[in-house]
Amino acid sequence: MHSPVIDWFDDNARDLPWRRPEAGAWGVMVSEFMLQQTPVSRVLPVYEQWVARWPRPADLAKEAPGEAVRAWGRLGYPRRALRLHGAAVAITERHGGDVPADHAQLLALPGIGEYTAAAVASFAYGQRHPVLDTNVRRVFARAVTGVQYPPNATTAAERKLARALLPEDEPTAARWAAASMELGALVCTAKSESCHRCPIAAQCAWRLAGKPEHDGPPRRGQTYAGTDRQVRGRLLAVLRDAHAPVPQAALDRVWHEPVQRARALDGLVADGLVEPLAGGMYRLPLT
């Protein structure tokens, strides 16, 4: 599958700022944090502002963590901003301000898991690592395993398959990782897949089997309206817009249900996203 997918990628890859040479490893890392569970269209403007303000890890490390949360805006899952800030501090302190190329050193950074370490090593440094995001997992599930969707959580079998499919040559393996991901994002999508545009449709096990319907565990949907996530987002929006501590009364106005509002605020404090002060005041974290 390597050649047709990589050839397709060469002709169809999106021109994204973190794929350009000037992005460097830091640009790749920032994009990987932002793209987790967030579409490219929402990430692009925030990414551009972020790297313009903090072009190197040391630039971000000098700032208070709350500034990272503020700049994160409405991307969602704002703990990612704190983790990225923590990674920037560690890169500055341990690696002289340069994102390490070594996979083990990447994995040792705070907030960096197996996927992000592999993605940065592969996309920024051209190394040979299996990069398994949702898009890649879906491509492999259909093309090789013959099922419509991968399991809800990544399995050992998927990791073994991803390693088996890796080209031996490092540059080709890195290109394959990016190409298979793009194929899942643009063609082999979760809904309304475009098999007529797929470079490996003729050998896709799922298509050849007649596209059998998913018969595994129900796929997890992402709800938002009325959830604690929505309340947390509204509370954080007040704090992001304020450049001074905010009184409890201002936060109370954003959500009508007091128990859920208090639970959401307590969760933000516990996660380190909000700092409580004396006198019922709150602010984004300074330390």
Q: For residues 279, 283, 286 and 287, what is the CA-based torsion angle, rounded to 10 degrees?
A: 70
Q: What Å distances lie between residue 47 and 20, 29, 112, 123, CA to CA?
A: 13, 11, 18, 17
How far is Cα of residue 44 from the mean position of the Cα atoms in its chain?
Answer: 13
Whether 158 is a known active-site residue: answer no
How far is 239 from 137, CA to CA, in rounded Å?
37
Query: Of the residues 32, 67, 158, 193, which is catalytic?
Result: 32
Selection from 172, 170, 198, 196 nearest residue 184 by Cα: 198
How far is 42 from 35, CA to CA, in rounded Å?
9
Strand order in the sheet with 275-277: 246-247, 281-283, 275-277
**Residues noted as catalytic:** 32
